[in-house]
Structure 1
Amino acid sequence: MVKKLLVCVGLLLCLNSYAQDLTFTYDAAGNQTFRGPGQTTTSIQNFAATSNDTIQNLENTPINDELIVINAAPNPTSGHIRVEWQNTSQVYFKEMTLLTYTNQALSRYQFNKDTNSYAIDLSRYPQGVYIAIFTTNRGTTQPYRIIKK
């Protein structure tokens, strides 16, 4: 009887436990300044539909027609990484800014309309996460995360 009671209590404790999301904040020197519960967010998009639109038509509509697909290899990298993308006839990348995870600009590269790839040398930087911010000719930005191991 005691074993059954212990099993029931253990099962009840397991069912009531759950994983927690934690948020960590660091200063510019890399020191942890905050550790606390994470927050769950949802993304809400508004769009208008006419009487002629069907659900299928709305699903096939691109969310952002200026979005350019970016590929990078090898990612994670230990030094050199090659970033490739496909420009469209109207939208192309004109600039890329390489940032640290703390938003410090490391370098900036300029592109012309015909450029669709670039090799980045990260060997002189320490391991960590870097963000490449691509800017299109229309002024929109598109981030890409690069991991240096």
Structure 2
Amino acid sequence: MKKNLTLLLFLICCISNAQQKISFAYDEAGNQIQRSWCLSCPAKTSGETPKEVADLKQEDLRKFFPTDVISYYPNPVKEQLYLKWELINDNKVTSIQLYSLSGQLVKSYTKLENTDNHTMTFGAYPNGIYTLLLLYTNGEEKSIKIIKE
């Protein structure tokens, strides 16, 4: 009986000290594509440090489609989101509205007609999913899903 109790305690200690982790993988749109469970996996770190806006290159900026005129970096965002758009046929971005997942307007940026980029601060917002709505002079709208970590 003593041997069984000792073996049971040993197994409980081994299991409780094991680092149990669940890791997830996501596609570009933010959809979960993989979930894996590992008992003693090392911690994953992306090793990717955020870049300053001045250091961004065209390949750093992400688009939903290759022909899209809106680029952004990074997503998921921690502190700041950099947006850049192309002006086509004098169709300018007039304002940007940031909505929470519940549909509540969080922040609105106006008077953007004379620029082709904007930097948004996300540091004070809670983690979650947000929607950016870009409004154009011709009445069109474009939305982007942003994940805040």
What range is the shorter-chain TM-score in?
0.5 to 0.7
**Match of residue 116 from structure 1:** 116
- Once the 2 structures are TM-superposed, how far is the Cα of residue 145 of structure 1 from its aligned partner? 1.1
**Match of residue 101 from structure 1:** 101
3-state SS of paired residue (2:109) = strand
**Alignment pair present for 1:75 and 2:75:** yes
Contact 1:68–1:86, Cα closer than 8 Å, also in 2? no
Q: Deviations over 1:82-135 (max 9, x none)?
A: 011111132111011000011100111113433111000010001111101011
Contact 1:129–1:145, Cα closer than 8 Å, also in 2? yes
Contact 1:68–1:87, Cα closer than 8 Å, also in 2? no
**Match of residue 91 from structure 1:** 91
- Which consecutive residues of structure 2, in runs of 5 or more, have no partner in the other structure? 1-66
- In structure 2, distance between residues paired with 1:80 and 1:112: 18
Distance 1:68 1:90, change over 3 A: farther
**In structure 1, what residue type is equivalent to 2:117?**
S
**Match of residue 29 from structure 2:** none
Map 1:7-86 onto structure 2 (within 5 A): 69-86=69-86
**In structure 2, what residue type is equivalent to 1:128?**
G
- In structure 2, distance between residues paired with 1:93 and 1:68: 14
- Once the 2 structures are TM-superposed, how far is the Cα of residue 68 of structure 1 from its aligned partner? 5.9
Contact 1:78–1:148, Cα closer than 8 Å, also in 2? yes
Contact 1:71–1:85, Cα closer than 8 Å, also in 2? yes
Aligned-residue Cα RMSD (Å) equals 1.6
3-state SS of paired residue (1:83) = strand
**In structure 2, what residue type is equivalent to 1:75?**
N
Q: Deviations over 1:1-33 (max 9, x none)?
A: xxxxxxxxxxxxxxxxxxxxxxxxxxxxxxxxx
3-state SS of paired residue (2:94) = strand
Q: Deviations over 1:32-89 (max 9, x none)?
A: xxxxxxxxxxxxxxxxxxxxxxxxxxxxxxxxxxx96211111111111101111113
- In structure 1, distance between residues paired with 2:69 and 2:91: 12
- In structure 1, distance between residues paired with 2:92 and 2:136: 5
Q: How many residues align?
A: 83
3-state SS of paired residue (1:77) = coil
**Match of residue 16 from structure 2:** none
Q: Which runs of 4+ in 1 moved over 6 A?
A: none
